[in-house]
Amino acid sequence: MYRIIITHLQNRTAQVLEYPKLGQCLESFKEICDSQGYAYEWNDELPTAGGVGHDYRIEVFVNL
């Protein structure tokens, strides 16, 4: 299972989206980043976006 975790940094809440396939997860991640106007970067093997200086942090995780 693959997860996207969207953390709202102001109020410290999080939304978790789950996907059975990595391709689906990455496609959704890109769409979310594009809708927020966030550039993303690859840390190790998985992408992240936002964080310090943004309203949200968006991360992909693998849940084995």
Reported in sequence order, the residue ranges of 1-64 that DSSP labels E, i.e. its strands, are 2-8, 13-19, 40-43, 46-50, 56-62
List of long-range contacts for 47-51, beta carbons under 8 Å, 24+ apart: 50/9, 51/9
pLDDT, tens digit, 9 for 90 and up, residues 11-22:
999 999 999 999
- Structure confidence at residue 52 as a pLDDT band (50, 70, 90): confident
- Structure confidence at residue 63 as a pLDDT band (50, 70, 90): confident
Look-up of token digits 């949200």? 56
Instruction: Count up the domains in the chain and report the number.
Output: 1
Range of the domain at 42: 2-62
pLDDT at residue number 38 = 95
pTM of the model: 0.89
Between residues 63 and 36, which one has the greater pLDDT?
36
What pairing do the DSSP bridges indicate for beta strands 13-19 and 40-43? unpaired
| Mean pLDDT computed over every residue of the chain | 94
With the C-alpha atoms ordered 18, 43, 40, 13, is the resulting torsion angle positive or negative?
A: positive
Query: Is the distance from CB of 14 to CB of 64 less than 8 angstroms?
Result: no
